[in-house]
Amino acid sequence: MILLQRYIAFIFLLLGIPVTAGTLIVSPDGPVYSVKAALEQAAAGDTILVRAGVYKEYNLLIDKPVTLMGEGLPVIDGEDQGEIIRVVADNVHIEGLLIRNVGTSYTSDHAAIRMVRCENFLIKNMVFEKLFFGIFLEKSNKGIISGNKITGDATDEYSSGNGIHLWYSHEVKVLDNSVEGVRDGIYLEFSDHILIKDNTSKGNLRYGLHFMFSNNDTYINNVFKDNGAGVAVMFSKHIKMFDNHFLKNWGTASFGLLLKEINDSEIKGNVFEQNTVGINIEGSNRVHYDSNDFISNGWAVKVLGACYTNIFTRNNFLSNSFDVSYNNSMNDNTFHGNYWSEYTGYDLNKDGVGDVPYRPVKLFSYVVNRTPETLVLLRSLFVDMIDFSEKVSPVFTPDALVDATPLIKRRK
Amino acid sequence: MFKILKYSFYDLMRSRWSYVYLLFYLALGFVLLFLNNDLSKGVITLMNVIVILVPLIGTIFGVMYYYNSREFTTLLLALPLKRFTIFIGQYLGVGLSLSFSLLIGLGIPFASYGLFQSDAVGQFSLLLITGVFLTLIFTAISFSIALYNDNKIKGFSYAILLWLIMAVIYDGVFLMTLVVFEEYPLDNFSILATLLNPIDLSRILILLKLDISALLGYTGAIFQGFFGTGAGMVVSLSCLALWVILPCMNMYRKARVKDF
Amino acid sequence: MIAVEQLYKRFGKNEVLKGIDLKVDQPGVYAILGPNGSGKTTLIKAILGMVIPNKGEITVNGNNVSKSPVYRQDIGYLPQIANFPANLTVKEIIRMIQDLRNSTPDTGQLIEWFGLQPFLDKKLNTLSGGTRQKVNLVLTLMFDSPLIILDEPTSGLDPVALLKLKRLIRHEREAGKTILITSHIMSFVEEMADEIIFLLEGRIHFRGSVHALKEKTHTHDFEKAIAKTLTLNDSYV
C-alpha cells in the first residue's frame, strides 16, 4: 500500500505536479481520500495537507511526529462516534481544521484532540464544534495551544466536557483561544508553569477557567464573561493573575473569581465588573491584591473563613452593593491606599489621601452574613440608617478593619 | 367628582409647591444623569429617592391640602354634591397633580438622555409606576388621617408618624424578626411582610427588575419566583392598588358620618 | 320650607342641640340668635347637611336632608369664614361654583352692585377680607335660590357695602324668599328680621317678631330685650 502510494507520488513528480517531498495531500478528489489513510502512509516529519472538504472520520491516531495541516478549513466530522484525534508522539503540529461531532459518553472523556504523553506540540487555529471535550492534554508538556475557537452547545453539566483540559501537563502555553458553550472553558489539574494569555472564555456552563492543584501558573489579559459561576482557582500556590476581565458572572451562586486555599499569589490589574461576588476568598493567605477595579458587583470582596496576611492596595471599589464582607470578626488583612466610591471623608492637606479612615465593612453585611434572608431589606432606609450610625460610631465592625489611607480620586 | 378633581388639580397645578416639587425632580434627574451618564445607575439612585421621598411628600401634601382647603370644603359641602364626591375629588386632585410632577420631572431628564433607546426603559417605567402608586397611596392615607383629626397638629403628627412607621420602623421590626427567627424558614414570611408594606413592595419590585435578585441568594430566587412572574406582578400591583382603595373606602366611611 | 323635628346633636359629651322643633313655611327674614355655644351654627349646619344629627329629622321643601344632597340645589349658603383655593381668580371661582351647581346665572348685576369688576382677574389670596366677603356674597346670591342661609354676612363689610347688602336682602325678601341669618350685630338684626328665633342652651327659647320680643320684655331697646330674655328662663313662647 505504502509502496503504491510512493509510486503514485513518483508518477506525479514525473508529471511535473508540485508535490514537496514528505507532503501527503488529502482531498475529496484524492490522491489520498482520508486523513486516516494519510496518517498511516506518512513517515516521521511528513506534512499531511488536507484540502477543503468533509471527512467523516474518527479514532485517528498520530503516532509519529507529523504536521497535520488544513487548507481552506476542511471538516473532520466524527458523527458522534467517539474520540477523533489521539496524539501519542512528540513534535506534532496540528493546524487549520474544523472538527465537529465528538461523541458524548458517560464512561470515557472523548475529545476532539487528545494528547497523551506528548512534548513540543502545537495546536493552532483550529475550530471545534459540537464537542464533548475539545483539546485534552494528558501528561503532555511544553506545547502551545493557540488561536483555537471552541464552540460547544452544552446544556447540562453531566453530559458536557471542557474546552481545553490540562491534566498533569506542564509548561504549556494557552494563547488567544476563544471558548464558549462548554462545561469549563479552560480546565487545569496538577499542571504547573502554565501560561494562559489573551483567551476569551464566555457563556460556559460552569467555570470560565477552573483550576486545581496547579502551581506557578500565570494568566494574563483573559476575558471571562457570562459563565455559570465564574472562574475558580483552588488549592494552588504562586499563581499570577494579571489584567484579566471578569464580567457579568451573575447568578445566585456566581462569582467573578473564587479563590479557595490559594497562597502566595498576586492578583493585579484585573477588572471585576457586574459579578454577584467579585472575588470570593476562602482560606487564602499572603495574596497581594493590587490595582484591581471592582465595579458594580454585589459584593466586591467576600472573605469567608480564615484568611491571613492578604494585602489590598491601590484597588478601585466603585458602586458595589458591599465593598468588603467578612463572616468573622477576625482580621489579619491590610487595606491601604484604595479608592472607595462610598468614601465621604475629606482631604484638607490636599495630598490625595483622605484624612478620615474608611471602613469598608458595613454593619448590614454582618447582619446579612448571619441571616442571609435579611438581604431583602437591601437599600431600605432602615438599613442605610444603621449603616450610617455604625459608620459614625463603630460598635460591631472590627477596629482594625480600616483603610487608613483611602484615596480621594479614583486610581487611573 | 371629576369637576372637583379638575378644580383641585388646576388649583394645585398653579401652586408654587407643585413647581418646587417639579423643579426638585427635574434637578434631581438632570444632576444624577450629569454626574453619571448611565441610565440604569440613575434608576438605582432614583429608587432610593422615590421609595422614601415620594411617600413623605405625598403624606405632607395630602395633609396640608386637606387642612388648607377646609373652609372651601365647607363651601362645597353646602352645594348639592355628595360628600364622598368632594373628598375623592380633592384627593385625586392632589394625588394626580403630584404624580404629574413626578412623571414630568423625571421623565424629561431621562427622555433627554436617550431613555427610549436604552434598555433601562422597562426599569424606569416600573420606577414611575411605583412612584405614582406610592404618591396615590400616601396621599390617600394622609387624607384619611386628616379626616379623622380636626386638630391640624395632631393630624400632621399622625401622618408623619405613619410615614415613619412604613419607611423605617417596619423594616426595623422586619429585620429583627428575621434575625431572631433565623432558624425557621422565613421565605413566606418575607414575601408576606413585603407585600404588606407598599414601600418595601415597591423597593423589591424595582430591585428585582434591576436584577439584584442574584445578590439575594436563595431568598432572592424565591422572591424572583414569586414577584418575577406575571402572576406575582399582578399580585403586587393588586396589593398596591389595594393600598389605594382601602384608605379611599375608609374616607368614604368617615366622610359619611363626619360633622363639619 | 324647613321643618326640623326633635333634633338632638351631641359633640362628645357636649350636648349642643337638645330637641329642636322648628317650622319655617313663610317667606321672610329669620334671624337665628343666641349666645355663644347656644347651637346656632350647629343648627344651620344640620339644615345644610354638614352636621349629622344624633336624633331627629330635617326636611327642606319636603326632602329629607339625610337622604340625598339634591335639596341643596334650593339653598344659597354664605359660610362664616370663606376660604377659596388660593390660586384661582375671582372670575374662575364664580365659574367654578356655577359649574359645580350646573347652572350659569348672570352675575353681572351682582358684581356691579358690589363693585367687584376691578378684582375679577385677581387671585383670591391677594384680596382683602371685605372684598373676599363680597365675592362670597356674590357666590351665595347669584343662584336665585328660594332658601338663603347667611352666617354672619356683615363681617368685614364697609358701611357702603353693608347698606347694599341690606337692600339686597330686602329685595330678596320681596321676591318671596326665605332667608336665615345669624349675626352679632343687633341693629342689623333689628332692622332686617321679620322673625327672631332665639336659641339658648340647645333649645328654642323664643320665637316671634322683634316687636313681640320687645313687648314681652317690656323694653324698647332691642339689645336690652335680648339681654333680658337671657335672664327670664321660664318664659317659653
Q: Do A244 and A140 sit in the same domain of this protein?
A: no
Domain count, chain A: 2
Please tell me which of A180-189, B30-39, C50-59 the model is most confident about, judged by mean pLDDT: A180-189
CA C96/CA C93 separation, integer angstroms = 5
- For residue C168, which of C189, C205, C142 has the smallest C-alpha distance? C142
Q: Mean of the pLDDT values across residues B229-254?
A: 90
Verify whether the Cβ–Cβ distance B215 to A321 is below 8 Å: yes
Residue C48 has its nearest CB partner, among B11, B78, B258, at B78
Give the model's pLDDT for residue A340: 92
Higher pLDDT, B225 or A65: A65
For residue A323, give the C-alpha cell: 465593598
Q: Is residue A126 part of a domain?
A: yes
Give residue ranges of B with CB < 8 Å to any A CB.
41, 47-48, 51-52, 167-169, 171-172, 174-175, 178-179, 182, 186-187, 190, 194, 199-200, 203-204, 207, 211-221, 223
Give the model's pLDDT for residue A196: 95
* ipTM score: 0.85
Q: Is residue A260 part of a domain?
A: yes
- Inform me whether the pLDDT recorded for B29 exceeds 80: yes
Give the model's pLDDT for residue A19: 47
Q: Do A208 and A337 sit in the same domain of this protein?
A: no
Q: Do A123 and A91 sit in the same domain of this protein?
A: yes
Verify whether the Cβ–Cβ distance C50 to B78 is below 8 Å: yes
CA atoms within 13 A on the CB side of A346: 2
**DSSP 3-state of A407:** strand
CA A312/CA A403 separation, integer angstroms = 9
Residue B81 has its nearest CB partner, among C75, C87, C100, at C100
Q: Which residues of C touch B78 (CB under 8 A)?
A: 48, 50, 72, 75, 77, 79, 149
CATH number at residue C190: 3.40.50.300
Q: Where are the domains of chain B?
A: 2-257
Q: Compute CA B252 distance to the chain's CA centroid, rounded to the nearest angstrom.
A: 20
pLDDT (tens digit per residue) in B232-244:
889 999 999 999 9
CA A268/CA A307 separation, integer angstroms = 18
Q: Hey, is the C-beta of C86 within 8 angstroms of any chain B C-beta?
A: yes
> pLDDT under 70 in chain A at which residues?
1-21, 328-331
Q: Is residue A383 part of a domain?
A: no
**Which domain does A112 fall in, by range?**
22-228
DSSP assignment, residue A43? Answer: P
Q: Are A212 and A189 in contact (CB under 8 A)?
A: yes
- Band (pLDDT 50/70/90 cuts) for residue C15 is confident
CATH number at residue A57: 2.160.20.10
Considering only alpha carbons, which residue of chain B is nearest residue C69?
A: B80
Phi and psi at residue C198, in whole multiples of 5°? -100, 120
Domain count, chain C: 1
**Which domain does C86 fall in, by range?**
2-231
The lowest-confidence range among A3-17, A68-82, B60-74, B204-218 is A3-17
- pTM equals 0.80
Give the model's pLDDT for residue A31: 85
Q: Which residues of A touch B182 (CB under 8 A)?
A: 370-371, 373
Give the model's pLDDT for residue A274: 87
Q: Is residue C202 part of a domain?
A: yes
Examine the fold and report which residue of A197, A228, A259 is the final residue of a domain before the chain moves on: A228
Q: Is residue C68 part of a domain?
A: yes
Give the model's pLDDT for residue B212: 67
Verify whether the Cβ–Cβ distance B217 to A375 is below 8 Å: yes
Q: Mean of the pLDDT values across residues B78-82?
A: 86
Q: At what angle do helices B83-112 and B39-68 cross, to 10 degrees?
A: 150
Q: Hey, is the C-beta of C126 within 8 angstroms of any chain B C-beta?
A: no
DSSP assignment, residue A103? Answer: P
CB atoms within 10 A of CB B239: 16
Q: Do A206 and A337 sit in the same domain of this protein?
A: no
For residue B192, give the amino acid letter.
L
Give, in order, the Cα–Cα distances in Å from B36 to each of A274, C4, C147: 17, 70, 65
A239-243: long-range contacts, CB 8 A cutoff, minimum separation 24: A239/A215, A239/A265, A239/A266, A240/A265, A240/A266, A240/A268, A241/A265, A241/A266, A241/A267, A241/A268, A241/A270, A242/A218, A242/A266, A242/A268, A242/A269, A242/A270, A243/A268, A243/A269, A243/A270
Q: Which helix (H) or strand (E) holds A334?
A: strand A332-336
Verify whether the Cβ–Cβ distance B187 to A250 is below 8 Å: no
Q: Which residues contact B251 (CB under 8 A, 6 or more apart)?
A: B84, B87, B88, B91, B140, B143, B144, B147
Q: Is residue C236 part of a domain?
A: no
Q: Is residue A265 part of a domain?
A: yes
Q: Is residue C185 part of a domain?
A: yes
Q: Are A298 and A321 in contact (CB under 8 A)?
A: yes
On the 0-12 / 13-18 / 19+ scale of CB atoms within 10 A, A282 is: middle
Q: Hey, is the C-beta of C11 within 8 angstroms of any chain B C-beta?
A: yes
Give the model's pLDDT for residue A11: 52
CA A75/CA A128 separation, integer angstroms = 10
Q: Which residues of B touch C48 (CB under 8 A)?
A: 77-78
Q: Is residue A224 part of a domain?
A: yes
**pLDDT, averaged across chain B:** 86
Higher pLDDT, A66 or B184: A66
Q: Do A177 and A300 sit in the same domain of this protein?
A: no
- Band (pLDDT 50/70/90 cuts) for residue B216 is low
- Per-position DSSP letters for A346-374, written without gaps between them: --TT-SSB-SS-B--S-HHHHHHHH-GGG
Q: Is residue A158 part of a domain?
A: yes
**DSSP bridge partners of C178:** C28, C147
Q: Hey, is the C-beta of C83 within 8 angstroms of any chain B C-beta?
A: yes
CA B150/CA B127 separation, integer angstroms = 35
The lowest-confidence range among A133-142, B54-63, B216-225, C14-23 is B216-225
Q: Is residue A124 part of a domain?
A: yes
